[in-house]
Amino acid sequence: MKIFSSILVIAIIAGTAALLWPRGQNKFNTEFSLNETIETKIAPAPQAIQINTPTSTTTTTQSITPQQTQTATTTAAPPTTLTRGSNNQIEVDGRYTILGSGTELDPYRVTWELLKSAYETMDLNGSRVTPPKRLEMLNGTYVQISGYLAPPLWGQETKELLVLLNRWDGCCIGLPPTPFDCIEAQLSAPMKLGAAHTISYGTIRGKFIVEPFKAGTFLIGLYRLEEAQTDDTKPRN
């Protein structure tokens, strides 16, 4: 009996030890793994980060190339070459022909191609605002040109109208003007207006003014005619 009891006690102790031993080993392994993880997370920074690289002392500068300089100086109007021929004929820059002497009795006969050439040194956003010399030389002289005449849409008479290269009714028909192909004319005498708005084509002459007109930074107008008179005006459908 004592032997049986001793064997039973030994068996119980052995079973208990067998149950407890794996748990202790797992706990030991877990603690060991956690310690390894913690040590890995708090490990010092890699040596590569602690290496001090030399700081560059080079400063960045922006240089202007000759091409950029040429672009930046495009606002300057180029010189104009005039060649006078017979019968008061003037060749301008080898591209345009002007007839007349620029007086009230013998105005310059100019073309729209000449007036439109202002875009070469000017633009609509106002960053380039210097007219070409060939147009500045016309400032204050008397000129004559033919084009579409657009008076106001209402009233019985007017002393102002627009002279246009392209037909435009002020709204939806035709091509709206630009500052380079439009002249604001102030008439020397009132013009009668009809019952309906009529698009006319004719010849107008007057004192020519070259003066950029801007709204903010945008170019709105460039040419004006003062003391203007019309002749040979006829409706055009």
Q: How far apart are CA 218 and CA 9, in angstroms?
A: 108
**Nearest alpha carbon to residue 213 among 237, 188, 187, 179:** 179
**Percent of the chain, pLDDT > 90?**
43
Q: Which residues of the chain fall below pLDDT 70?
A: 1-78, 195-197, 232-237
Structure confidence at residue 200 (pLDDT): 87
pTM value > 0.75? no
| Interval 9-47: pLDDT, tens | 454 454 444 444 444 444 444 443 434 443 444 445 444
Q: How far apart are CA 182 and CA 18, in angstroms?
A: 108
Structure confidence at residue 50 (pLDDT): 42
| Interval 168-197: pLDDT, tens | 888 888 899 999 999 999 999 998 887 666
**Nearest alpha carbon to residue 80 among 96, 65, 64, 104:** 96
